[in-house]
Amino acid sequence: MLLSQITGLPVMDTAEAHRIGKVDGLVLAAQPPRVLALRLKKTGRSGSYITWENVQAVGHDAVMARTDALQDADGDLAAPAAVCKDLVGRRVLTARGEEAGTLQDLDIDTGTGAVLTVHSANDQHPGAALTGVGSYALVITAEA
């Protein structure tokens, strides 16, 4: 499923069937390329992140998780969460510093959270090519 399809989906509590919030973005890790957490907005509770391990299902209409899984961006999640705001439109560079366009979308395996494809304005790159995520750019290898 594409990041553009996940963004904006309601997140529903599996225990009580009420809305927790809405997906506002992803927190990525590059080694290996995967989703660490979903960033939510309008939770109405403390915590704006749900780690991928606590996501129970991702469908075309909603994401299912538990309210008690909400957390703040602290500990191991703090640094990646800080650099993963507004990923779409961010520069994509090769490991040699060459321009590879801007990020248009990401294809995510909703079962594992693995990044399957990086869609830049210029090309598509296998998820395994993603080697770095920073506040300035995403870095890909030329071949993966």
Q: Given pLDDT bands bounded at 50, 70 and 90, which one contains residue 2?
A: very high
Average pLDDT, the chain: 90
Q: Is the pLDDT of residue 14 over 70?
A: yes
Question: Can you tell me which residue has the tokens 């979308």?
Answer: 105
Q: Same domain, yes or no, for 107 and 79?
A: no
Domain membership of residue 127 as a residue range: 90-140
Sequence letter at residue 70: L
Number of domains into which the chain is organized: 2
Give yes or no: residues 7 and 77 share one domain. yes
Same structural domain for residues 10 and 54?
yes
Residues 79 and 123 both lie in one domain: no
Do residues 62 and 102 both lie within one domain? no
Is the same domain home to 13 and 67?
yes
On whether both 17 and 41 belong to a single domain, the answer is: yes
> Is the same domain home to 105 and 58?
no
* pLDDT value of residue 43: 61
> What does the block give as tokens for 43?
């939770």
* Same-domain pairing of 118 and 65: no
For 34-61, the pLDDT digits (tens) are 999 999 987 666 678 999 999 999 999 9
pTM exceeding the 0.85 threshold for the entire prediction: yes
77 and 103 housed in the same domain: no
Examine the domain organization and report whether 23 and 50 are in the same domain.
yes
The CATH number for 120's domain is 2.30.30.240
Q: Which of 84, 99, 129 is the last residue of a domain?
A: 84
State the SS3 of 10-61.
Answer: EEEECCCCCEEEEEEEEEEEECCEEEEEEEEECCCCCCCEEEHHHEEEECCC
pLDDT value at 9 more than 50: yes
